[in-house]
Amino acid sequence: MTLGKLSQRKFPYTNKGISHLPYVDFLLNHGVYTSSKLAFLVDSGSVYSYAPYHYLVELGVAPDWSAAVATGCEDLSGKPLDGIPIRVKLMLAADPGIGVEETIYFRKSLNYAVLGHESFLRAFPALFYSKEKALTLFNLG
C-alpha cells in the first residue's frame, strides 16, 4: 500500500518457541562482501544495533576484539554492552534497494541480532501489532 511517501510493508512475527517476535531478514554489505539473509530482532527499545560475531565473519571480516568499544548502553541485567563497531549497509532482504548505512556493534557473547532505533528505525519507522503478531515498516519507497 502506498500513501504519498508513506509506502509500507507488513512483516509477520517469527515463532520462536513460546513466543512470536518481530524478526526481519536483512542483508549486510561491507566492501565487496554481501551476506546471506540474516535475521534481526526489531527492538524499538534498543538504542544501537548489535549482532553476533558470526555475522561479521560472513562479511569476510576477521574479528579484532581489541577494537571493541563500550557503547554506553547496558543489557537487561545491567552489564555494559560493548562490541566491534563496523559501518555496513543494512538492506531489507525482501527488497535490497531499501536500506541505510549503519554502524553495527558485533559481539562475542550474543546469539541473536538486534536492530536498534538510531539508524534503520529512524529512517523507516515501525509500528508493532501484538494482536496481529506483525510489524509494519514505513517510508519504504
Could you read off the pLDDT of 27-67 as tens digits, one per residue? 999 999 999 999 999 988 889 999 999 999 889 888 899 99
* Domain count along the chain: 1
What CATH number does the domain containing 122 carry?
2.40.70.10
- From CA 98, how far away is CA 13, in angstroms rounded? 20
Q: Per the domain annotation, does 106 fall within a domain?
A: yes
Q: Per the domain annotation, does 2 fall within a domain?
A: no
Q: Which of 110, 89, 85 is nearest to 27 (CA)?
A: 89
- From CA 60, how far away is CA 82, in angstroms rounded? 21
Q: What residue numbers bound the domain in which 62 lies?
A: 24-138
Q: Is the pTM of this model over 0.75?
A: yes
- From CA 114, how far away is CA 107, in angstroms rounded? 11
